[in-house]
A and B are shown apart, each in its own frame.
Chain A
Amino acid sequence: SAVISQKPSRDICQRGTSLTIQCQVDSQVTMMFWYRQQPGQSLTLIATANQGSEATYESGFVIDKFPISRPNLTFSTLTVSNMSPEDSSIYLCSVGVNLNNEQFFGPGTRLTVL
């Protein structure tokens, strides 16, 4: 399995500001993903973070709103830009372990936008 950490664990932000969330893995992984979980809802994939190239975004999510970086095989960041209260969610990163096709999730970042 992979050990995943996220920073910050939670934050309260003002409308119109941006927050960058970090995801660190204890081993090199090929695939990293970012998910959003709105209050009381299920998880929705935002994008696949690709190392060395632009992230692949799912329908309904755009790079301007959720820029993603993946500088190496153990680290990624997700920025939530120009936040509004509708962005209040838990943001989770996950990693795919190819051979076993298992996916493990970080502890999540609980974001509240006022």
Chain B
Amino acid sequence: AQKVTQAQTEISVVEKEDVTLDCVYETRDTTYYLFWYKQPPSGELVFLIRRNSFDEQNEISGRYSWNFQKSTSSFNFTITASQVVDSAVYFCALNGIKAAGNKLTFGGGTRVLVKP
């Protein structure tokens, strides 16, 4: 079975602070994909990143960066110099190819509130 845990239910920061969202996963698959999605108040899910299990390189995209640590089964997400528009719920998700056949298992989500 697959499982994704986002221990932080809500994080509140002041604008320009950095914020790191934790994601820990469990899977028996050796080949799997990890995702982060953003859900603003409008409700739409916005795809942010996909990472496969064989690529442990960290990635940076603008103010966003991701740290994939296979040894600790974690895929953490950092927003640098946060802005009010970053306020949203962020979901980490896992797709184990053999076990799940492209079905995503979502974590519980972390609500980020960025105050001006």
Identify the A interface with B (CB < 8 A).
1, 31, 33, 41-45, 48, 90, 92, 94, 96, 98, 100-105, 107-108, 110
Contact = CB atoms under 8 A, between A and B. Distances in A.
A42 B104 contact: no
Interface residues of B, number: 20
Contacts, number: 50
15 contacts: A1-B47, A31-B102, A41-B108, A42-B106, A43-B106, A45-B104, A92-B45, A100-B50, A101-B52, A101-B95, A101-B102, A103-B35, A103-B102, A105-B44, A107-B44
Nearest to B104: A103
Interface in B63-112: 91, 95, 97, 102-104, 106-109
B116 interface: no
